[in-house]
Structure 1
């Protein structure tokens, strides 16, 4: 069981992990050891609710294929275990960000006292500026 948040969790069989060889510099370690991880998560076949699936599929992320499969490639670390945990953290962060619903803002008005104080400050500032003019004798 993979826990994403308090109310979202995934079954282990919903996520497919493959160990592959990493790209880039690294010499013999990169050439011989399969330490990078390809994580594949089929959004449509997951146990998430329909609204959560729609939000995930609607996100404009280049890691989501046309078939609706999220592909995360983790190759930052030298060990397979660290790359695996990095891939799971990135999956968790992606799902949390996509399923987060912002509160609707309710417009508010400043209070009568706050408006009065603002006008008093503006009046005081205007008086200060009017005293900066030329002095006539």
Structure 2
């Protein structure tokens, strides 16, 4: 059974929206690797969280924008962790990964403030363009005025 995920002091995802399953993990593990389900697969129902208001809609929109490729056809985010041989460590890693993903989109991106180039920058750019133009003019053959 999955436990609730506490994202920060304001937000939490209830256990009903999370589903935790286990599978056999690849990689090293000796004789144990083929008989122990140490890989943790955490599924978060994004659609249900949107309907119930677990997280603000802006956070969910940014999550879909950044991690939309991780959302399957059922509207679930699937996170698997199999770094460790220990099932508990993999569960903690999966929860931590989901929490970090949500926190990474928690803050809305800053709006860009339009700036103008300084007078010195404009003068340097124009002077550089003038030098380039003169350099190219010197390469041309002399004009004959016939």
Q: Same fold (TM over 0.5)?
A: yes
CA drift of 1:40 comes to 0.3
**Corresponding residue for residue 3 of structure 1:** 6
Aligned mates of 2:56, 2:115 — CA distance in 1: 34
**Corresponding residue for residue 17 of structure 1:** 20
- TM-score with structure 2 setting the length: 0.66
Aligned mates of 1:41, 1:96 — CA distance in 2: 15
**1:36-51 counterparts in 2 under 5 A?**
36-46=39-49, 47-51=54-58
- TM-score with structure 1 setting the length: 0.70
**Runs of 4 or more consecutive aligned structure 1 residues displaced over 3 Å after TM superposition:** 105-109
Larger helix proportion of the pair: 2
Aligned mates of 2:25, 2:41 — CA distance in 1: 10
**Corresponding residue for residue 79 of structure 2:** 72
2:29–2:85 Cα contact (<8 Å) kept? no
Aligned residues: 115
| Structure 1: stretches of 5+ with no match in the other structure | 110-114, 116-137
Q: CA RMSD in A?
A: 2.4
Change (3 A) 1:106 1:98: same
| Structure 2: stretches of 5+ with no match in the other structure | 121-146
**Corresponding residue for residue 70 of structure 2:** 63
